[in-house]
Amino acid sequence: MRKSRAWLVIGSLATVAFIFLAISVKLEPAWLQNIDTTTQYLIAPKVKPTTTKIISLIALLGSPVLAICWTIIIALLIWLKEHRLTHAAWLIFTQLSGCSAVVIIKEIIHRFRPTKEVIPDSGFSFPSGHTFATAIVVLAILCLIVPWLQDQEIQFTTVLLANGWLILIAFTRLYLRAHFFSDICGSFLFALSWWEFSRLLYFKFIQSKQSAAVSDTVSP
């Protein structure tokens, strides 16, 4: 119960913060431009041909398409271990619907990508699809896979690696100048918000099915 309430608080705060950030990106205030410009200035000297090849490969591994594949694999593991098809389907739904929502938000905000991209990319900038999709995978690992692990050291290592991978994917988007720093922050916030929103929908669905089952049982 406490964990559910904590997630509800986190999801609510993330939603409010995301809406505020999205409005700020649309209005382009000076303080936000300063943050994004400063971040780009700090990363720019690190751009080198060899590093770019490595970063590009990592970015590919963190693409939304591959993140969806990782999500399906995790969903299959859930199905095989817990025999919960609805749980597995919910996870895939969360990823697919979230990625679709990101595309819609991109069109609404209509923010162009940073200039002088290391590798040209298409589409709009806010929020980052790579970061969002990877964040959902990481949330699935932390919330669904880690509780299976009995050894605390393995749990700690898994949490560390999962979060490290998310940070690394986010960094690749900044390094390649495919996104602004605020795009990355927006993706983190939206992933937390979408995860909690989807989780609440799932429990509502389960409760409605249980209520319907009870109703059928007691009906004459």
Q: What is the mean pLDDT of the chain?
A: 88
Evaluate whether residue 32 is within a structural domain. no
Identify which has the larger pLDDT, 195 or 121: 195
Which residue, among 220, 135, 126, 115, has the nearest Cα to 176 in the 3D structure?
115
213 pLDDT higher than 60: no
Predicted TM-score (pTM) of the model is 0.89
Please state, in angstroms and rounded to a whole number, the distance separating the CA atoms of residues 189 and 91.
Answer: 18
Which residue, among 91, 93, 59, has the nearest Cα to 165 in the 3D structure?
59
pLDDT at 215: 41
Which residue, among 48, 35, 40, 63, has the nearest Cα to 132 in the 3D structure?
63
Identify which has the larger pLDDT, 1 or 126: 126
pLDDT at 174: 93
Kindly tell me the sign of the dihedral angle through the C-alpha atoms of 56, 133, 38, 29.
positive
Evaluate whether residue 113 is within a structural domain. yes
Q: Which pLDDT band holds residue 214 (cuts at 50, 70, 90)? A: very low
Mean pLDDT highest for which of 33-37, 76-80, 116-120? 33-37
Please state, in angstroms and rounded to a whole number, the distance separating the CA atoms of residues 149 and 93.
Answer: 25
Evaluate whether residue 74 is within a structural domain. yes
pLDDT at 106: 96
Evaluate whether residue 36 is within a structural domain. no
Evaluate whether residue 71 is within a structural domain. yes
Identify which has the larger pLDDT, 3 or 176: 176
Q: How many domains does the chain have?
A: 1
Evaluate whether residue 30 is within a structural domain. no
Mean pLDDT of the region 29-50 = 88
1 pLDDT higher than 60: no
Q: What residues make up the domain containing 105?
A: 2-20+49-202
Evaluate whether residue 213 is within a structural domain. no
Please state, in angstroms and rounded to a whole number, the distance separating the CA atoms of residues 71 and 135.
Answer: 11
Evaluate whether residue 41 is within a structural domain. no
Segment among 112-121, 135-144, 187-196 with least mean pLDDT: 112-121
Q: Which pLDDT band holds residue 202 (cuts at 50, 70, 90)? A: confident
Residue type, 132: F
